[in-house]
Structure 1
């Protein structure tokens, strides 16, 4: 007879220390991690696994739960990232090798002009980012970003940061992305109004904190296009048409919108979420399925005389460069999972919630604390909404605009200070060929600006309207 060993979840592990010791352990863990990576040049994957293990021991997670906790954080992150990055990289490599990325880049430049190339990439990313998740959208857009950067020269950050910031803003601020949808439901905010407020706040926030910041940062940090990630365009095949390239890029958006759009309609009671046809379309619209379908369609539309063996080599060549990125991203999720299991985020959030700050300021502060403590923006967003929901329900006089602004304030706090416990930090840094110090000076600062500017706009709108 085989005995099953019961494994506690992170939420079931009782914190061993109070807020002060837990925060001290978290700060020391981050300092040790940065020292190992930047001073001693230990590989980020090895350093993250080592520090995650030591942090689990230091926070006195039970010995029997240490390895399950590490694996849970690692596995849950890979479950979300590996398929998206792998399939997205295949689409990107097909577009790159076939010349499709160059076709789209040329078209964007003709429409916007050479001087506005970063603006063109950012606007395109805002549109693509409405239904598509941050990591999937960024990976698919990278070949176009790299093509524009190679054509006009200068730092790849000039072109990449406005695009990455656009995906980050849309993912955090605007339903139907899961974080703002969950927060809206928990706080009782109207989804439709949250979309409108999210866009009204998100677009100027992106322009100030991402586009203008990206232009300025590109002048200070000259980062070349990474050779090991960017593919080489073939010269002996006819270029695809702009319509073909646009169709391939729009296909995952349309498919994913089947899921996110129907989910929004189901939440609003417009359609029956339990109906078979709704479930089937939502399944097709799940991001991994949508990207898988897009890979298959791209292999057909971009074939242009290539043999099946050649296509297989093209998509296979996309996986090698991103494998290290996937592993490091998973290890970042492992570190964040240990910090969640230790109770660091909840302890800090509980302290902030009882400070007597104005409601919208407290929401931003609690969300920021959770984001810094455990890394995941979605976890910070949804957890903060759950923590603040009783206070919001007990507060009289809140309008529908106030509730929508509260969602954006929480989303802003969940965006700031992306650092070594955030899988997105490693994803962006490794894809753009930056070391950890440069990623902190660029990506982390941009995410913080997005959060601070977004919160400022949300507080202003809430006060005025």
Structure 2
């Protein structure tokens, strides 16, 4: 785009870095102290940054909408379809069916493991907040039946939802970073699971067992569950376990099929020009895979069980409202990235990183962690960090696996040490019946460990792919 016009003025490197630092500081100030919604704050800062760096007024709106629209193109479909699938599994009773089956399989002594496995599986399509709320009545029931601290059961399950939300598409953070950095969403999904599951084991299972023994948290008297609206009650059907597993594994299988065919084509085993390969690759594109799964869920959980089409439509529609804010925030993060790219700030950051000798993957992790600690939102932290390193990534010549590893490293930084400015912190604190100090000692420390362990695994993937 810059080939069609010129900046009104050229700032030196130090000037561009100063504008970058000022724009981030202003963004944090607007969100933290000004209490301005992150979407509005990102738009305001994008406009001011564009003006400060000399982008012509005649091109300003074009730059803003190009960055915004480009990000939404890769985010909105995945987040919307994932939310629809999660809502249907939630309201139909599929979560409870899956959890009961796992507890029966693993036994009461391994109930925390069973709850965590259910949370990992449900965490693929369901966001952290919604997933935790769905699981809480089940967690409380199990804890009351077996005894002991609530954290023994709740902390591993909450961590399972957290790692899936942080590292695995179609959740908005990794999807937004994938789009901004030009990574392959299928590879990010595959390696996201490779990062998420060991991270859960270290933090959720091992550290979770420690906090469960150290902090004796009683089960709250009031059970916090999913909202009991009339349509949700009518949609309940207690689907068979096989149906729930099929709907959870289908999109994974289709996406893996796409990734596998790409790998086979690279190895020369198949040709991407073959018609059957093109059809299978299309079915494995993430939006198509999720669309197929959502339609099948509407049939298996709704129409086939005799539920009227109007009820199915209401349930699906109810999933979209809560994710609109997330979609807009990620789009605004892409807008901010577009301004940084067109203004030349990205090149200045690249020169500075080179002079410091700080590896790009580490720099991105640190940036995401700093923004996360400062303002609380993992989505804002991840999109901000991805926007800042985007210009460097686009000229780095990284292979697809390296790009996926960078996305996951930034995602790890975006969850570092969630504390009192994070809505998830208060969700855990209130639902678990913990005071602020105890929540800081347990959840905040656990989230810091998730970030560190996740980054170490992502870095290992990056180094292996670089060899």
**TM-score (norm. length: structure 2):** 0.68
Distance 1:170 1:351, change over 3 A: same
> 1:75: how far off?
0.9
* SS across alignment from 1:28: helix
Q: What runs of 5+ residues in structure 1 fail to find an aligned partner?
A: 1-6, 129-136, 185-191, 393-402, 420-427
Aligned to 2:431: none
Distance 1:209 1:237, change over 3 A: closer
| In structure 2, C-alpha distance between the alignment counterparts of 1:206 and 1:10, rounded to whole Å | 49
> Which of 87, 102, 114 is the aligned partner of 1:108?
102
| In structure 2, C-alpha distance between the alignment counterparts of 1:46 and 1:202, rounded to whole Å | 32
Aligned to 2:277: 278
> 1:86: how far off?
1.4
Aligned to 1:364: 361
What pairs with 1:142-181 in structure 2 (closer than 5 Å)?
A: 144-153=131-140, 159-166=157-164, 168-169=166-167
Aligned to 1:72: 66
Aligned to 1:294: 293
The answer on whether the counterparts of 2:167 and 2:412 sit within 8 Å (CA) in structure 1 is no
What is the aligned length?
Answer: 410
What pairs with 1:221-300 in structure 2 (closer than 5 Å)?
A: 233-234=232-233, 237-300=236-299
Matched, 1:387 2:396: yes
Distance 1:236 1:387, change over 3 A: closer
| In structure 2, C-alpha distance between the alignment counterparts of 1:230 and 1:157, rounded to whole Å | 28
| 1:188-243 Cα shifts (integer Å, max 9, x gaps) | xxxx9x99999887754554467667889998xx9x97967999852685411000
> 1:183: how far off?
8.2
* SS across alignment from 1:273: coil
Over the aligned positions, Cα root-mean-square deviation in angstroms equals 5.2
Aligned to 2:452: 449
| In structure 1, C-alpha distance between the alignment counterparts of 2:94 and 2:364, rounded to whole Å | 40
The answer on whether the counterparts of 1:418 and 1:443 sit within 8 Å (CA) in structure 2 is no
The answer on whether the counterparts of 1:49 and 1:331 sit within 8 Å (CA) in structure 2 is yes
Aligned to 1:325: 326
* SS across alignment from 1:234: helix
| In structure 2, C-alpha distance between the alignment counterparts of 1:310 and 1:354, rounded to whole Å | 60
| 1:292-319 Cα shifts (integer Å, max 9, x gaps) | 1111111111122211111111111222
The answer on whether the counterparts of 1:101 and 1:144 sit within 8 Å (CA) in structure 2 is no
The answer on whether the counterparts of 2:67 and 2:338 sit within 8 Å (CA) in structure 1 is yes
Distance 1:208 1:333, change over 3 A: farther
> 1:445: how far off?
4.6
> Which of 389, 401, 414 is the aligned partner of 1:418?
414
> 1:40: how far off?
2.3
**TM-score (norm. length: structure 1):** 0.68
| In structure 1, C-alpha distance between the alignment counterparts of 2:446 and 2:57, rounded to whole Å | 36
| In structure 2, C-alpha distance between the alignment counterparts of 1:40 and 1:151, rounded to whole Å | 39
| In structure 2, C-alpha distance between the alignment counterparts of 1:454 and 1:11, rounded to whole Å | 43
| 1:67-105 Cα shifts (integer Å, max 9, x gaps) | 112111211121111111111111111111211122123
> 1:442: how far off?
8.4
* SS across alignment from 2:269: coil
| 1:265-308 Cα shifts (integer Å, max 9, x gaps) | 21222211122221221112111111111111111111222111
| In structure 1, C-alpha distance between the alignment counterparts of 2:61 and 2:446, rounded to whole Å | 31
Aligned to 1:132: none
| In structure 1, C-alpha distance between the alignment counterparts of 2:396 and 2:459, rounded to whole Å | 22
| 1:17-70 Cα shifts (integer Å, max 9, x gaps) | 333222222222222222222222222222221111111112222222221121
> 1:247: how far off?
0.7
The answer on whether the counterparts of 1:413 and 1:451 sit within 8 Å (CA) in structure 2 is yes
Aligned to 1:352: 353
Matched, 1:305 2:306: yes
Matched, 1:53 2:42: no
The answer on whether the counterparts of 1:84 and 1:291 sit within 8 Å (CA) in structure 2 is yes
